[in-house]
């Protein structure tokens, strides 16, 4: 099963990083250069926070602040939630869902940054929709008629509304075929 492999097998090792004393303008340029939506903030050798595109929009752009005059430490999300390289992909996904985050920096036993894993990395190896669907279902991620949409457990299609039929969360078409 793909989800039992350690994150070190799929993590990105070349992480976009910035120093805690840099400006938001500087970090935004690095994020563009790396082609990523986040940067891990470092205090020396220690990862201490993360800045995401959302942080830049909400904390800088929406407040009409000048990026060159705003320091990274003013907008970073902290404390940083991290995992170890031996953490399973399934456990990483569970942490992301529980915490409502899309990125997890990976640190070694000494607390040094060795990589990062994102929701896209996990999706990339979760080609088996049954595995992805069961993981999402286990964590009540919106799979009842009252709560909204998700992935149909019969056909694998994403829909806005699911219906529970004989213990399965089904799209409208599959639910009608079952009735």
Euclidean distance between CA atoms 74 and 48, whole angstroms: 13
Domains of the chain are: 2-125 (3.10.580.10), 142-178 (no CATH)
The pLDDT of residue 148: 62
Q: Are 20 and 48 in contact (CB under 8 A)?
A: yes
pLDDT of the residue at 127: 58
Stated pTM of the model: 0.69
d(CA 115, CA 84): 10
pLDDT in tens, 133-146: 555 544 443 333 43
Q: How far apart are CA 54 and CA 38, in angstroms?
A: 9
């Amino acid at each position: 099963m793909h989800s039992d492999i350690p994150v070190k097998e799929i993590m990105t090792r070349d992480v976009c990083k910035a120093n805690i004393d840099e400006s938001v303008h500087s970090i935004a340029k690095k994020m563009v250069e790396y082609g990523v939506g986040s940067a891990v903030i470092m205090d020396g050798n220690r990862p201490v926070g993360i800045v995401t595109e959302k942080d830049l929009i909400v904390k800088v752009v929406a407040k009409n602040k000048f990026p060159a005059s705003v320091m990274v430490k003013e907008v970073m999300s902290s404390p940083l939630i991290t995992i170890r390289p031996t953490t399973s992909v399934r456990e990483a996904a569970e942490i992301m869902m529980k915490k409502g985050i899309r990125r997890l920096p990976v640190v070694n036993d000494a607390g040094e940054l060795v990589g990062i894993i994102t929701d896209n990395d996990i999706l990339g190896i979760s080609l088996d929709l049954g595995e992805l669907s069961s993981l999402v279902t286990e964590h009540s991620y919106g799979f009842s008629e009252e709560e909204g949409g998700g992935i149909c457990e019969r056909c694998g299609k994403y829909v806005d509304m699911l219906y529970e039929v004989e213990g399965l969360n089904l799209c409208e078409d599959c639910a009608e075929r079952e009735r």
